[in-house]
Amino acid sequence: MATIKELAAYTGLSPSTVSIVLGGKAQQRKIPENTQRRVQEAAQALGYRPNISARRLRDPEAKESMVVAVFWAEDFRAPMMVRFLRGLRRAIQAQGGGCEVLIHPYTCGRLREERSLISLSMFNAAVICNASAEDLAWLEQAKPLLPIVLYNRRSDSYCTVNVDDARIGALPAEVFSAHRRRRAAVLTADEVFYGMRVRTDRFLARCGELGLAVGPVLRQENSMRGGCEGALALCALPGDERPDCLFCASDALALGALRGFHQRGLCLPQALELIAVGNGEREAEEYAWPSLAVVSVPIEEMAVECFYLLRRLVRGEVRPPFSRPMEVRYLPGESCPESP
């Protein structure tokens, strides 16, 4: 990678002149066309690429601004990143900017391979989302030296922003019970983090407490396809094993399940009430047919809190571990209406 110094040597000009031309200030500094051309040709010939860090180091405006990395799993959870970034953006704008967002997609379970978390020279702080148990274990031991907030995970040594997973599981059970449903089923996916298990377990336990029978707990790929297959499997059950209410672990599963139920002519909510964990776009839930009843995960608000927590961490105003709990809300929908 050529530097300005090298271009200077190559052209026989000084670094100052080269810098002026490359910075687009030739006009105001009255550099003749000819000199400009020499510089441009040299840049082309030597493959010059400006060093952004060096430029930034000199830029007084840039000094105030900090860089926050968002680690997000590059799997079925990718679409949820939109909601998170929306919240993050909101928080940054609310403080008048001054924060750049660096996206770091990563493979779940391989957070340890992300050198940037160790090198300390890529960003000021990081929000780590979607961490697996392995990733968390590594974090507990590696202890990166920069401010970190974990999104929707528990930790004894980091700052975290959390939802109450037990509540997410209990709520649907209570609604189903109030609606006098008799047999509940669960449509979920591989438990990529501990909270998912808590949701399912707590749903089942609460059903038990309320006298609801619990039908099958189906585990499918966390996608619409998985949801659709799950629904078809439920419809294939013999009549007495068929549930009349269903807890879906994600919007994707639920939306796919709607298709499966349509295919089989099963009528919601009459034959089956459905409540999903609302982790997708609200509009997709509302304009589904039937619209989805959800226990809504406030992803945008959680992103805002992640940012605030990070800021307090950077300023030394909070010391980890610290957990910021967030409320989940139950939003009825046609798949499980308020007054059935």
Q: In the set 14, 52, 134, 237, which binds its own copies (CB under 8 A)?
A: 52
79 contributes a contact to its own copies by CB under 8 A: yes
252 contributes a contact to DNA by CB under 7 A: no
Q: How far is CA 55 from CA 23, 72, 157, in A?
A: 10, 29, 36
Residues 179, 126: Cα–Cα separation, whole Å: 44
Q: In the set 37, 41, 45, 54, which binds DNA (CB under 7 A)?
A: 54
Q: 177: Cβ–Cβ under 8 A, 6 or more apart, which residues?
A: 207, 210, 211, 212
The nearer residue to its own copies, 67 or 133, going by C-beta atoms, is 67
Please state whether the peptide bond connecting residue 105 to the residue before it is cis, i.e. omega within 30 degrees of 0. Answer: no
Quote the DSSP letter at residue 2.
B
Most distant CA atoms of the chain, gap in Å: 89
4 contributes a contact to DNA by CB under 7 A: yes
256 contributes a contact to its own copies by CB under 8 A: yes
The nearer residue to DNA, 124 or 323, going by C-beta atoms, is 124
Q: What angle do CA 241, 245, 249 make, to 5 degrees?
A: 110
Q: What angle do CA 324, 70, 200 make, to 5 degrees?
A: 55
Residues that bind DNA (CB under 7 A): 1, 3-5, 12-17, 19-20, 22-23, 25, 29-32, 35, 48, 50-51, 54-55, 57-58, 63, 120
Residues that bind its own copies (CB under 8 A): 1, 23-24, 43-44, 47, 49-59, 61-64, 66-67, 74, 78-79, 81-82, 85-86, 89, 100-103, 105, 115, 119-124, 145, 223-225, 227-228, 252, 255-256, 258-259, 262-263, 281, 283-284, 286-289, 314-316
